[in-house]
């Protein structure tokens, strides 16, 4: 199964999102079923804040695994893929052991993770001060920020993690954060392939996946998932 988590800055988005039909076809070409999931959104007055979104994503993965027979999927072949805020969530599920542990699963129940253009691999106090979106989603407590940071989690909880492919683009700061995450994964005993999608917009990274004529993102992601799910 290929579980997809949409983007939207943790504040907007829905599971039947943009380019979902292309991803369904792409999963089918891999011999997989695409399962697109939602999580509660950070909206004014909702008091939704980390780790709620991560817990929702973990609950969705666990539900799919528990209902694998009914869905016709193999619970021992689970891959995650997400874009933007969804990329942060799949990266968190692959690195933060507490999220899946709450639902009697572990990180090594995941075969691999495809993380598409996140800017939140390490959520710092500077991020919170400069980006209102981050403060709304994570608050200001340094302990919570570390818990929400996949890079920190990979360093603190080495071993038994899925393989990763990370697609990045944009500013030097953004790509350096993705590179640091990949290095942390490698140092923690996982593997991480980094794809630079220079020239693509943030949204184009999302719509590229599974596009038959696209030659930057889709081919390496296809090879990665073919190897992961075989």
Q: What mean pLDDT do residues 7-22 have? A: 95
Given a cut of 90, whether residue 131 has pLDDT beyond it is no
| pLDDT computed for residue 229 by the predictor | 95
Q: The tokens of 97 are what?
A: 């052991």
What is the per-residue DSSP string for 80-148? EEEETHHHHHHHHHHH-HHHHHTTT--GGG--EEEEES-S-SS--HHHHHH-HHHHHHH-S-HHHHHHT
- Whether 100 and 58 have beta carbons less than 8 Å apart is answered as yes
Q: What is the mean pLDDT of the chain?
A: 96
Q: Domains in the chain, ordered, with CATH?
A: 2-229 (3.40.50.1820)
- Whether 169 and 198 have beta carbons less than 8 Å apart is answered as yes
Global pTM? 0.97
Give per-residue pLDDT as tens, 189-223: 999 999 999 999 999 999 999 999 999 999 999 99
| pLDDT computed for residue 13 by the predictor | 96
Please state, in angstroms and rounded to a whole number, the distance separating the CA atoms of residues 208 and 215: 9
Query: Which residue, chain included where needed, has tokens 């630079």?
Result: 196
């Amino acid at each position: 199964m290929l579980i997809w988590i949409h983007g939207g800055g943790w504040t907007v988005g829905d599971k039947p999102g943009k380019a979902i039909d292309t991803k369904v076809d792409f999963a089918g070409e891999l011999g997989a079923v695409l399962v697109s999931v939602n999580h509660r959104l950070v909206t004014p007055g909702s008091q939704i804040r980390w780790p709620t979104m991560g817990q929702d994503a973990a609950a969705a993965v666990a539900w799919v695994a528990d209902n694998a027979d009914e869905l016709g999927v193999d619970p021992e072949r689970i891959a995650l893929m997400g874009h933007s805020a969804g990329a942060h969530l799949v990266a968190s599920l692959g690195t933060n052991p507490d999220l899946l542990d709450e639902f009697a699963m572990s990180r090594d129940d995941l075969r691999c993770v495809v993380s598409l253009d996140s800017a939140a691999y390490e959520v710092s106090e500077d991020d919170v001060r400069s980006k209102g979106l981050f403060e709304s989603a994570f608050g200001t407590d340094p302990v919570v920020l570390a818990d929400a940071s996949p890079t920190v989690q990979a360093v603190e909880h080495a071993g038994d993690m899925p393989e990763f492919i990370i697609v990045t683009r944009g500013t030097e700061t953004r790509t350096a954060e993705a590179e640091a995450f990949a290095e942390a994964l490698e140092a923690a005993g996982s593997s991480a392939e980094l794809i630079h999608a220079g020239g693509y917009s943030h949204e184009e990274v999302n719509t590229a996946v599974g596009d038959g004529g696209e030659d930057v993102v889709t081919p390496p992601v296809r090879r990665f998932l073919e190897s992961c799910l075989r």
